[in-house]
Structures are given as structure tokens and as C-alpha cells.
Chains A and B, each alone.
Chain A
Amino acid sequence: MQVKLTVNGEARSADIEPRLLLVHYLREHLGLRAANVGCDTTSCGACTVLLNGRSVKSCTVLTAQAAGAQVITAEGLGSKDSLHPVQAAFRQEHGLQCGFCTPGMVMAATSLLAENPNPTEEQVREGLEGNLCRCTGYHNIVRAVLAAAQAGGGAAPPAAGGGAGQEAGQ
């Protein structure tokens, strides 16, 4: 089947099997490998991307369900030369250890800050309950999200457009 969607600001037309999961489309068809397949059961959040500005687990979304939608992955959030405030805060606060959960954490945090630009520490911890870090490096991750909030990360749109927090195209 044919599906049209926008990924990191680029219009895409995909000829796919209906059963193709969004995470596999991103990784295998587009070569965007930031979203990881961790648990593959909607638990760990390593595959988190923004769908119309809201965090979703792309292992549990069909590519077909994203027809007409805007998808943003960590690749589209900022660039190496110009990190998104949430990415910059993760680097600054060392909000990562092995790095496997990091793209999902960053996307979940971006969605969280778009909905609540000034969260308390408790709200950050609850807001990231859908993302697991098996290095257990949560303290610095939470610190990074709070630092990103202070830096105004909630208001910063992804470099690739498709502003977080807006349900465009629904």
C-alpha cells in the first residue's frame, strides 16, 4: 500500500506492507537509526518518536497509521552543529551512559516539556515513566530535563519543523 507522511520535515511516499511498524520503516527504509527497538512490547520507550508533536512508541504504531502525519526522530530534533535545547542539556548534564535509551528519552522529554514547560522533578520522573534506562542512570536524565526546561526547551521547535505539542494533520 502507498502511505504519504512527513519525516523530519521531508515529505515521504512509501510503498509498504500494511504490517510494517513505524520503527522498522524509520530504521530500515529511511536509515534513521536513532529510534531503537528495545523491548518491542510498548514498555521500554527506546523507540519513542514524535507523531504530530506527541511522544509515541513507534514499535506499536503501524506506518499506515502515520499516514498524513508529521514524524520527528532524534535526527530531526537538532543537528550536530546546533543541538536542540533538550539534546544540549542531556550532553551538559551527562544524561546518558551506554546511550541506548537516550534517543527515546530525549524525544519523551521533548514531548513532556511541550506539554508542561516548567515541570517539577516529580513531574519529570512521572513523565518519563514510559522510558527505561537499564544503566539506571535516571538521576542525570532527570537533571538534564530540568536543565532543558530552564533553558526554555519546551518552547523550542524541532529543527525539522512539526512543532512539539501541536496535533497537526489529525
Chain B
Amino acid sequence: MIPAPFDYVAATSAAHALDLLAQHGDDAKLLAGGHSLLPMMKLRLAQPAVLIDIGQVEELRGITASGDELVIGAMTRHAELAASDLVRAGAPLLAHAAAQVGDPQIRHRGTIGGSLAHADPAADLPMALVALGGSVEVRGPGGSRVVGADDFFAGYFETALEEGELLAAVRVPSRPGVPWGYQKFVRRANDWAIVGAAAIGGRIALANMGPKPVRALAAEQALAGGASPAEAAELAAEGTSPGEDIHADRAYRQHLARVLTRRALEHQS
């Protein structure tokens, strides 16, 4: 399978990428690691006229501690995230989630910014960001803004990114030692979650239980009110409206959400 023809430009800096976005508008797509976009282009589900490659933009890479947050450059690859001492100490849930994405080859190429901007509701990192209560730093022609995880994901493959904007960095709270749980139900190695659940510090996020990663708010409230993990987990699917596919119908996904939430709450690291 071969993508439809396109023009390719390698951006040399974030500012250069923003200029190129402004110049090409809707015809252009940003290319990060390419492990979501290129498969879609090969299937001709996406046919951008221009690809702006930001994969080599050094200022968009790297992980630093800033106050009580970790700041992760958008072009940081999953393998780097999973192996980072800073992330493993301050946000081990995120390091674990990065290690669950695809397989080693995919983790050598895919980036956190690419995965979040792609916004697949079944993916690991969007769920992790919502569970952690992180945020993303967005740069555009008018400057920078920070968007919280709960507001960033808008729907199936849709985010709060506006035309001409670029996801520059990801921020997550650094909370060493806070217990967390992570559950991903798959039938095949290197697959997306049929349903996933991630829990930390009273927040619970679910993957593939709707058009975007969602919070299990009823279960969170029950936990805050003193319910046991098992009691709270019974409420995990409340208000959800998951899609149906060859892997699972709606009722089965809701059952999985309850079971995986209980496990994420009971088996914490």
C-alpha cells in the first residue's frame, strides 16, 4: 500500500513548523513519528497535500522536571518515556502506559505528542494523561496556551487543537510514591485496548468506552465518599456509551470497565 502523493517539508524548529502550517493551512498535516498518520495515509483514509515533518525538531524533545510537574517534549518517543528515570520516579503510570503502546518497533518511532494529537480513544497515552490530570502545551500563531487533559480530547480523533496550532509539550504532575493501577484488556499482542482502565490518586480514566478517554466520575465520587474499591468499581460504566465492534458489544464493554476498574483499584503499584 502506497500513500497518495504529497509534498514533504522537514521543519527545523517549532517556529518553522508554525510558519509552514500558516502557509499551507488545511492542506497540511504535521508528521511526528508517523505511526498513526502513515498507516492512515497508506489506506488513503488521510490524503494531506503537504506533510510537515517535526520528527527532527530537537526543541520538541526531552523530559525535564519543572516545579511539581514533568514537562515532556511532544516528540519524545514512547521508548524514551518508558525508560526515563524522571518519568518512572514521578509519573510511573505514564512510563508504564508508554511501555504498553504497540510493540518495541512502534515504541522506537511513535511519539507522545503524535499519540495525543491523534486522539484514538482506545490508545494508552490519552487514557494515561486523563488519569494523571495532565495538560498539553499548545503553540499557535498567537502564542502558547495550556489545555487540561479533560478539555483536550473532544471526540473520535478530535482534539482542542485549532488550525495552525502545534502540540509542543505534555505536562503531568510529578507525584513519586502515589499508588496507581493500570489495566488493559486485549486479545492479541500489540493491540489497542478493547477496554482500558487507569487509576491514580482518586482519579479513574477509561479507554475505548466512548468517543474519547473518559473519567469514571461516579466511581471516583463513590471512592471519595468512602466506598471500597469493589463498590466503587461497580459504578465505573455509569454514563458511558461505548461503541460496538467485532471485539465487544456495549454491555460487554461496560462489564469490562467494571472489572478492569476494580483490578486497577485493587492491584496498585
Residues of A within 8 A of B (CB): 1, 17-19, 21, 24, 40-43, 45, 48, 51, 54-57, 60-62, 64-65, 67-68, 108, 111-112, 127, 129-131, 170
Contacts and interface: CB of A to CB of B under 8 A. Distances in A.
B118 to A, nearest CB: 14
A17 B10 contact: no
Contact of B190 (A40, A43, A56, A170): A43
B103 A64 contact: no
Interface stretch (B34-42, B217-225, B257-265): B34-42
Interface stretch (B48-56, B64-72, B155-163): B48-56
B224 to A, nearest CB: 36
Most B CB within 10 A of own CB, among A40, A68, A111, A130? A130
A48 B102 CA distance: 14
A127 to B, nearest CB: 6
Contact of B34 (A17, A43, A48, A65): A65
29 contacts: A1-B8, A18-B51, A19-B3, A19-B4, A19-B6, A40-B1, A41-B39, A41-B42, A54-B79, A54-B108, A55-B104, A55-B105, A56-B105, A56-B109, A60-B35, A60-B39, A60-B109, A61-B38, A61-B109, A62-B8, A64-B8, A65-B31, A68-B56, A108-B104, A112-B104, A129-B190, A130-B104, A130-B105, A130-B190
A127 B103 CA distance: 8
Given A43-B190, A62-B34, A170-B56, A129 B103 contact: yes
Given A60-B34, A65-B34, A42 B5 contact: no
Given A18-B51, A61-B109, A130 B10 contact: no
Contacts of A45: 103, 105
Contact of A21 (B2, B104, B189): B2
A60 B6 contact: no
A130 B53 CA distance: 25
B245 interface: no
A65 B34 CA distance: 9
A130 to B, nearest CB: 3
Contacts of B104: 55, 108, 111-112, 127, 129-130
B145 to A, nearest CB: 29
A40 B41 CA distance: 12
Contacts of A112: 104
B149 to A, nearest CB: 26
List the 8 closest pairs (A to B, CB-CB), nearest first: A130-B103, A18-B8, A54-B108, A129-B189, A19-B3, A130-B105, A129-B103, A57-B105
B14 interface: no
Contacts of A18: 5-8, 51
B86 interface: no
Contact of A61 (B5, B34, B51, B103): B34
Contacts of B108: 51, 54-56, 111
Contacts of A40: 1, 42
A152 to B, nearest CB: 21
